[in-house]
């Protein structure tokens, strides 16, 4: 009975353990997880939240300020002589006796007009929020590009492992065939030695391909922002119609300048700097405010008196050590820094588009000859194997054709990777991020 129960338990658990394999990670899932886990993206999102709160703080001067105070003091009650007083108390009236003193106050303050200080500060904070959102879009675009290129690198590494495994299997078959022909006296010993050497080389290449795959997976997980297990596989995303680089490079540059979030960020920073300059300039002008208060005080809770006061206050800045003047000049100087940065960014965007267009054109053009080379190499292997079996060819011819075919297959994998990365780089240069990544980014 114990054996039967043990066998039943093993049968019940076997499918789960035998069927469990590397999980499949799609490109959409990788991009979605990067949005959630990438620390750079989360940090940029927190920057947007902080900017929104600063905007709310900047609006606060438009609302009245209300505060309440309560004070208790223990003090003496000696009268202090004042200059010009008609009656001066004698020194004999001084006493060390102390009394309670209570004072409660409710204060209301409201700015009436400050010559644009508050308005320009609000404009500054709003522009800062726009800049923070543009910075978030810039970070998301960079994260998208890193995840996409890392994903295709893993896909290419998987295919390279397959190429290495097939090369090892072929080398194993050739080694066994050469040994059999040598034993039958049909081939020389050199064929056996050479086939074994090629088998060892193929096995070493397979180990290197597996190590490269592990490193590529780690790079992808780092781009996502997680340290999960490396036991996963990726798949080729659904193919989309090929997207060619436009022949009109200037049109592409104009599109990039209108969509790149880095440029939007700098433009928002320029708007914020203009608002700061206006706010600093408003510091030369007076401010007008309204204030009111209600107080109640006395020496005991049952013996207290109340008072109220209300009025307007005009504050005119006359001289503050030229600080306002220099602060405004500082803001204007930093605006020139931002303007130069915007101009430099325009040159960088132009260069990005030119490079991305050239890379995409090269990657697309390269696919056709690479595919043709692979077809020719596979046909050469078939011919060499036939000649070798018929005794018309030697092993060197067979080995050269197989090496040529393996290299052509590896070059095809690298060409597909270059094409996928070129598409991603092209879209990043133009500032494009598709809503459905896997459906639109696969070449």
% of the chain at pLDDT higher than 70: 86
Backbone angles phi, psi at 74, to 5 degrees: -115, 120
Backbone angles phi, psi at 108, to 5 degrees: -125, 130
Q: Read off the pLDDT of residues 347-387 as tens digits, 9 standing for 90 and up.
A: 999 999 999 988 888 888 888 898 898 888 888 888 877 77
Sorted by where each begins, the domain ranges of the chain are: 116-292+323-441
* Residue 295 burial by Cβ neighbours in a 10 Å radius (0-12, 13-18, 19+): middle
Residue 269: pLDDT band (50, 70, 90) is: very high
Is the Cβ–Cβ distance between 234 and 155 less than 8 Å?
A: yes
Lowest pLDDT segment from 154-163, 252-261, 281-290, 393-402: 393-402
Report in angstroms the alpha-carbon separations of 114 from 101, 211, 285, 325, 435.
38, 67, 8, 17, 46
* Residue 29 burial by Cβ neighbours in a 10 Å radius (0-12, 13-18, 19+): middle
Q: Would you state the structure tokens that stand for residue 115, as one six-digit string?
A: 């010559």
pLDDT at 239: 63
pLDDT at 247: 67
pLDDT at 340: 96
Q: Residue 266 and residue 132: Cα distance in Å, rounded?
A: 10
Is the pLDDT at 321 greater than 70? The verdict is yes
pLDDT at 90: 55
Q: Read off the pLDDT of residues 6-15 as tens digits, 9 standing for 90 and up.
A: 444 444 444 4
pLDDT at 85: 62
Among 417, 413, 424, which Cα is nearest to 356's? Answer: 424
End-to-end CA distance of the chain: 60
Q: Residue 179 and residue 302: Cα distance in Å, rounded?
A: 116
CATH number for the region 116-292+323-441 comes to: 1.20.1600.10
Q: Would you state the structure tokens that stand for residue 146, as one six-digit string?
A: 């890193």
Q: Read off the pLDDT of residues 182-221 as tens digits, 9 standing for 90 and up.
A: 888 777 788 788 888 888 988 999 999 999 999 999 999 9
Q: Would you state the structure tokens that stand for residue 74, as one six-digit string?
A: 């223990």
Among 371, 362, 372, 368, which Cα is nearest to 423's? Answer: 362
Among 368, 373, 364, 357, which Cα is nearest to 425's? Answer: 357
For residues 117-132, average pLDDT: 94
Return the SS3 of 64: coil
Strands 303-315 and 65-76: what pairing?
unpaired
Among 304, 296, 274, 426, which Cα is nearest to 362's? Answer: 426
User: How many beta carbons lie within 10 A of that of residue 78, not counting itself?
Assistant: 13
Residue 400: pLDDT band (50, 70, 90) is: confident
Is the Cβ–Cβ distance between 402 and 172 less than 8 Å?
A: no
Q: Which residues pair with 309 in a beta bridge?
A: 293
Rg of the chain in Å (alpha carbons): 39
For the whole model, what pTM was predicted? Answer: 0.80
């Amino acid at each position: 009975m114990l054996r039967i129960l043990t066998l039943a338990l093993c049968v019940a658990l076997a499918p789960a353990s035998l069927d469990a394999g590397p999980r499949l990670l799609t490109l959409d899932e990788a991009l979605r997880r990067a949005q959630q886990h990438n620390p750079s993206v989360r940090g940029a999102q927190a920057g947007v939240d902080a900017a929104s709160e600063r905007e709310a703080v900047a609006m606060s001067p438009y609302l009245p300020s209300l505060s309440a105070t309560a004070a208790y003091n223990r003090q003496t009650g000696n009268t202090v002589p004042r200059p010009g007083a008609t009656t001066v108390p004698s020194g004999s009236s001084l006493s060390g006796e102390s009394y309670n003193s209570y004072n409660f106050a409710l204060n209301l303050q409201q700015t009436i007009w400050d010559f644009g200080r508050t308005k320009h500060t609000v404009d500054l904070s709003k522009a800062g929020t726009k800049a923070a959102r543009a910075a978030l879009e810039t970070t998301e675009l960079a994260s998208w590009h890193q995840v996409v290129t890392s994903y295709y690198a893993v896909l290419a590494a998987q295919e390279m492992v397959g190429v290495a495994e097939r090369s090892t299997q072929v080398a194993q078959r050739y080694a066994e065939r050469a040994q059999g022909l040598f034993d039958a006296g049909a081939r020389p010993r050199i064929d056996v030695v050479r086939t074994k050497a090629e088998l060892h080389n193929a096995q070493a290449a397979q180990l290197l391909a597996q190590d490269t795959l592990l490193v590529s997976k780690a790079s992808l997980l780092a781009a996502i922002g997680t340290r999960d297990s490396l036991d996963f596989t990726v798949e080729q995303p659904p193919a989309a119609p090929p997207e060619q680089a436009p022949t009109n490079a200037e049109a592409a540059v104009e599109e990039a300048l209108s969509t790149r979030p880095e440029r939007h960020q700098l433009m928002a920073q320029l708007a914020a700097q203009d608002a700061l300059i206006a706010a600093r300039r408003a510091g030369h002008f007076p401010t007008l405010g309204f204030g009111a208060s209600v107080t109640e005080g006395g020496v005991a809770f049952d013996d207290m008196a109340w008072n109220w006061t209300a009025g307007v206050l005009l504050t005119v800045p006359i001289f503050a050590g030229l600080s306002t003047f220099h602060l405004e000049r500082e803001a204007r100087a930093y605006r020139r820094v931002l303007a130069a940065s915007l101009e430099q960014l325009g040159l960088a965007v132009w260069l990005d588009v030119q490079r991305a267009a050239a890379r995409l054109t090269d990657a697309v053009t390269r696919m056709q000859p690479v595919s043709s080379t692979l077809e020719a190499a596979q046909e050469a292997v078939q011919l060499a194997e036939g000649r070798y079996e018929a005794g018309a060819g030697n092993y060197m011819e067979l080995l050269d054709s197989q090496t040529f075919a393996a290299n052509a297959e590896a070059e095809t994998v690298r060409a597909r990777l270059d094409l996928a990365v070129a598409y991603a780089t092209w879209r990043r240069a133009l500032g494009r991020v598709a809503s459905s990544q896997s459906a639109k980014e696969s070449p």
